[in-house]
Amino acid sequence: MIRGFARVMLGLFLPFVFLISGCSKPFVYPEDEHSQAEPPRSADWIAMLPEGEIRRQVVLGCTPCHQIGPPVAYRKSVEEWREVIGRMKKIDDDLDLSLIRLETEELAQWLATNAKLPKHGRYVATAPADIKEYPAGAKTGFYHDMAVSAGRAWIADYFGNKLYGVDVDTGAVEGFDLPVNVAPGKPGGAHQIDTTRDGMIWITFTKAEQVIRFDPVKKEFKVYSGFEKGGNVQYFVVDADRYIYEDAEGGIWMTHFSRVMLSRLDPKTGEIKVYRTAQHPYMPEKSVHLYAAVADSRGRLWFTETHGNRFGMLDPRTGEVMVKNMPEPWAGPKRLAIDKDDVLWIPELATGKITVYDTRRDKVVDWLTLPISGDFPYGIRRNRYTGDFWITGSGSDSLYRLDPKTRKFSIYRLPRRGAYTRTVSFADNGDIWTNYASFPNAHTQTPFDSGVVVRLRPQ
C-alpha cells in the first residue's frame, strides 16, 4: 500500500494531463426524456455545457455557494456575464475563499457561447416520500448545515451568528445567540454542525476561527479558541456511523479550508494540536481546499482536497501522510463517507460521479454515475440505521439514496426549485433530514421568509 502511494507521489510531479473523453461534445438529451411538466434545473443547464476542463472549473468555482443556471443564476449576453462574474469574484475575495480560479473575461466569453437554458427539465422516475418543510431563522441568513439531536433539528446562521432549534414534532423554533468572538455585525462563519455520540452539538466557525459545543438539553455553550488564524476551521472528521469521530483519548479532529492540515482538539483541556499534510505540487495552499475527512476503523484520517483534486490519509499515531490524485482531473472530491469495511465513497462535484476506494486493498473498486446528468453531489452520508448512503442532489433539487450492495439509486425530489443541499441527517424512526443551504438563501424558491429545514419520510 505504501508503495502504491509512493508511486502516486511521483506521479504528482509529472505534468498535468487531461484525459477527458469527448471533451467538446455538448450533452444532448434524447427528445423523449424532456418533459413539459419538468422545469429546467441547474443540473439540466450544466448537462448542456460541453464537458471538459472549463465546465468542471465552472462547477468547482460557481456551485460552492448556490446552484448555477436556473432558477436564477444565469445570464445571456457576454456583457451580463462579465458584470455578474466580476460581482461573484468580489464576494469570493471578500470572504477570502479562493473558489473562482478562471479569469472573468475567459469565463464570460465561454458561458455566453456555451450556456443555454433548456426549455424543459428532464423527466426522471422519483421515489415517493412525505416531505415536510420547517421554516426557521432570518431570510437573510445562510444556513450551511443541519443536524438532529434531542428532538430538534438545528441550523446556524453563518452571517447572523445565531443557532436555531426546530422542534421536530411541533415545528416550534427556539433561537440562541452564538457566543463567537467577532466584532458586532461581522460573520462568525458557522459552517458544519454535527453531533458526537452523546448528542452534543458541535459547530465550526470559519471566520471566528473557533469551535463551539452546545448541550441541547441544558442549553449551555462551551467555546474553544486558538485555532490557526486565517485557516478557516471547517469540517469535523466523521466516522462510519456519521458521528463526529472521537479518538481513543477523546480527541476530535477538524480540517481547515485554507490550509493543508488537520487539527486535534482535546475537549477536556481545550488543547489544540496541528498535523500538517502534504503541500500541493502546483497550487497555493489557500486554493487546495482540504475539505472533508473521515476516520477508518484503525483511527487513520482520510481527507479530500476539492480544488487540489486529491484525496489522502493522515495517520495520527505515526504522523505518516499520503496523498493520491483523483483518477479524473478537476473532479472536485467533496464530502466523502466511509463504511464499516473502511471503503471510501467520494462524491465528485464536477463529474457527478462517486469514486469508491477500498482503503484496505488500496484500490479504486468502482466509479458510480448519478442518474441525473449535470448534477453536482456535495455530500454523501451513511445512514447508521440502515447502512444506505444518502447523497445530496445539489443541482437537481433532490436527494439520492444509494444501496451499497445493489448500487441502485433512488431519487427523492425536493419540492422547491433551487433546493441546494449540502448534508443529510438521520433519525432512528427512519426520517431523513436536510436543509436548504444556498448562499444567498433566497436562491431557493420557497414561500417562506426564512431558512428551511426539511424532513423526508420515504414511503
**Given the rule CB under 6 A, which residues bind ligand HEC?**
61-62, 64-66, 68, 72-75, 84-85, 87-88, 91-92, 95, 97, 99-100, 439-440
Of the pair 62, 203, the CB lying nearest ligand HEC is at 62
Q: Give the CA distances from residue 296 to residues 239, 276, 314, 351, in Å, rounded to whole numbers and listed in that order.
A: 7, 19, 11, 25
Min dist CB 442 to ligand HEC, Å, is 8
Q: What's the CA dihedral at 195, 201, 204, 209 to 10 degrees?
A: -140
Which of 85, 368 has the CB closer to ligand HEC?
Answer: 85
Which of 67, 450 has the CB closer to ligand HEC? 67
CA distance linking residue 287 with residue 385, whole number of Å: 36
Identity of the amino acid at 128: P
Per-residue CA distances from 374 to 123, 288, 396 (Å): 14, 23, 8
Cα–Cα distance list, 174 to 137, 156, 179 (Å): 9, 12, 16
Closer to ligand HEC by CB, 435 or 438: give it: 438
Torsion of CA 320, 325, 326, 329, to 10 degrees: 160
Joined together, the cell numbers standing for residue 246 give 472521537
Three cell numbers, residue 234? 471547517
CB nearer ligand HEC, residue 9 or residue 95: 95
| CB burial string 1-24: b at 16+ within 10 A, e below | eeeebeebeeeeeeeeeeeeeeee
In the complex with ligand HEC, the residue whose CB is nearer, 64 or 316, is 64
Residue with Cβ nearer ligand HEC (62 or 147): 62
Q: C-beta of 230: minimal distance to ligand HEC in Å?
A: 17
Q: How far is CA 80 from CA 57, 94, 347, in A?
A: 19, 21, 32
* Number of C-beta neighbours around residue 340 at 10 A: 12
Name which of 339, 291, 282, 281 is nearest 311 in CA terms. Answer: 291
Nearer to ligand HEC, 92 or 209 (CB): 92
- Least gap, CB of 161 to ligand HEC (angstroms): 18
To the nearest whole angstrom, how small is the minimum distance from the Cβ of residue 156 to ligand HEC?
A: 18
- The minimum distance between CB 438 and ligand HEC, in angstroms, equals 9
Smallest gap, in angstroms, from Cβ of residue 26 to ligand HEC?
18
Nearer to ligand HEC, 117 or 274 (CB): 117
Instruction: Report the nearest approach of ligand HEC to the CB of residue 95 (Å).
Output: 6
Q: How far is the CB of 104 from ligand HEC (least distance, A)?
A: 8
User: CB neighbours (10 Å) of residue 369?
Assistant: 12
Residues 6+ apart with CB under 8 A from 436: 143, 416, 419, 420, 421, 444, 446, 451, 452, 454
* Residue with Cβ nearer ligand HEC (85 or 190): 85
The radius of gyration computed from the CA coordinates of the chain, to the nearest angstrom, equals 21
Q: Is 429 exposed, middle or buried (0-12, 13-18, 19+ CB in 10 A)?
A: exposed
